[in-house]
Structure 1
Amino acid sequence: MSRTILLTGGGRGLGRIMAHALAKDGHSLILSSRSEDTLIETAAECRALGAAKVDYLLADLAIAGEAERLSDVALDRFGTIDILVNNAGIAINEVSKDYLTNPYRFWQSDRAIIERYLAINTVAPMILAIRLVEQMKQRGWGRIVANTTSLDTMLRSSLYGASKSGLEAETAIMANDLAGSGVTANVLVPGGGCGSRMTDEMGLPRDAVLPPEIMGPPMAFLASDASNHINGRRIQARLWDAGLPPLDAMDQAGDVIAWTGCGIQGVQPAATKLSTPGQY
């Protein structure tokens, strides 16, 4: 069945790869980015690949109100949005091109750059989900997919790590809140360094990192009815075997979302159970 999809950061990189995979399955796409030339190019490619309908919107998610505008215009143009792919992000190369050999330390940041990372990587995805989820719930079907980052990256990259871990935690909460509604929330990550503008700027050759094409098959699966029961999971695309039946590939590539089941859990007062809607 063809779905309508809003894919942020859809003009290039991993967003472009996911857009191609969704287009091949005949879905309708709204792609957003700050770069119009890449959006025009990717939209044309998606039309050629078989997308039912393709449109694009320029949006700078660092600006207050842009996420709200993006969701409103997307709904106005397409009528419904079945799937939200929170892919747009700002990586550590924004402040440090050589952070692998010259680590960026937390004390180098100021309020402006902290707020910029959080605005793009955490706040905007949350706002988009908030604005779009109600119409998904009303139809009893929908998807929220977040591209966060590897867990080890969260712990070594100031700004990027904090903002992406915030998105992952919030996506886990969304999954819990949406359980049983027909709307799911999952994380899809490459599972390691992946060929992109970020790795290019860091001087990493493409043969030293994961190929971006690995993001296509699991994204196509999450957009399908076959994934109806998949909720609150972290999928590593590097572990996805496209030669397997999709559910078997999911079993191989899926893991716990955020930090559930990882390490010793905190001991909390019994009263906190009152605000816990479910268990992962």
Structure 2
Amino acid sequence: MKLHDQTAIVTGASSGIGEAIAHELAREGANIVLAARRSDRLEALASQLEKKHGAKTLVVKTDVTRRDEMERLVQEAKDEFGTIDILVNNAGVMLLSFLKNDHVDEWERMVDVNIKGVLYGIHAVLPSMMEQKHGHIINVSSVAGHEIFPSSTVYSATKYAVRAISQGMEKELSSSGLRVTNVSPGAVSTELTQHITDSEVKEMFASRPMNPLQPTDIANAVVYAVTQPESVNINEVIVRPTNKVM
């Protein structure tokens, strides 16, 4: 149990990758602070983590687009567990659409969640980590932050931004004792695609069957990064499916 007595905050923990990350960090002995808007799902997950892994948990209903709520999340985690050792900025939305279809509200939503949510998490946790001179921030980007495909223009822009934030943090914090890892998943079997409203994009996805990764594949990459020796900083992890027919 390499993370025994360490405390990890996981945003977007109510489903998919966030839920899997919570399980795998708990398996390694970490205290888990679960953050998302769907508190009923968080409560159910907390119960699973406690029964399956013996983990200590805290549920904090949180909207990552609200700076005050992210500040409250971090404060409640500190009040409960004393320190915060790991922040996983996982919350994100993937509202793919073609620019010509003018889904402006969805563009704004992606900017708010995917960029501002990450920045608010960093803002809330960084002072404590700097004071204790250790900590690990995981930012979940996407392979869409490395390359752009039709309908991903705005989504890719937000994920490129997450990578830029991660790279800037690496340089600024390199001598502080803090570590930063950017994790870029490829196609993963989650509910993200269910939130797409652009009918043309839905048709495009329906005509391109894939063999996606599972959320646990990404969770394992996160555990790999955070369980390295303190002298090792895994800056970037890209995880893609092979698309091999099983």
User: TM-score with structure 1 length normalisation?
Assistant: 0.73
Runs of 4+ in 1 over 3 A off after TM superposition: 112-115, 151-154, 199-207
CA distance in 1, matches of 2:110, 2:194: 20
- Percent same amino acid at aligned positions? 25
Amino acid in the other structure paired with 2:11: T
Q: Does 1:105 align with 2:99?
A: yes
**Which stretch shows the higher mean deviation, 72-81 or 20-29?**
72-81
User: TM-score with structure 2 length normalisation?
Assistant: 0.82
**Which stretch shows the higher mean deviation, 24-33 or 163-172?**
163-172
Q: Tell me: CA distance 1:125–1:236, structure 2 relative to 1, closer, same or farther (3 Å).
A: same
Deviations 1:57-95 (A, max 9, x none): 111223453222322322233221111000001112xxx
Alpha-carbon deviation of 1:42? 1.5
Q: Tell me: CA distance 1:152–1:121, structure 2 relative to 1, closer, same or farther (3 Å).
A: closer
Amino acid in the other structure paired with 2:9: L
Structure 1, unaligned runs of 5 or more: 97-102, 240-280
1:245 is matched with none
**Which protein is bigger by CA-based radius of gyration?**
1
Structure 2, unaligned runs of 5 or more: 196-201, 242-246
Whether the 8 Å contact between 2:89 and 2:137 is mirrored in structure 1 is yes
CA distance in 2, matches of 1:225, 1:155: 31
* Equivalent of 1:145 in 138, 144, 158: 138
* Equivalent of 2:36 in 22, 28, 33: 33
Q: Does 1:65 align with 2:68?
A: yes
* Equivalent of 1:127 in 109, 120, 127: 120
CA distance in 2, matches of 1:34, 1:85: 16
Q: Tell me: CA distance 1:55–1:224, structure 2 relative to 1, closer, same or farther (3 Å).
A: same
Q: Which structure exhibits the higher relative contact order, with contacts defined as CA atoms closer than 8 Å and separated by 6 or more residues?
A: 2
Alignment RMSD = 2.6
1:186 is matched with 181
1:243 is matched with none
Q: Tell me: CA distance 1:199–1:214, structure 2 relative to 1, closer, same or farther (3 Å).
A: same
Alpha-carbon deviation of 1:106? 6.0
Whether the 8 Å contact between 2:146 and 2:160 is mirrored in structure 1 is no
1:237 is matched with 239
Whether the 8 Å contact between 2:21 and 2:219 is mirrored in structure 1 is yes
* Equivalent of 2:78 in 59, 75, 79: 75
Q: Tell me: CA distance 1:27–1:113, structure 2 relative to 1, closer, same or farther (3 Å).
A: same
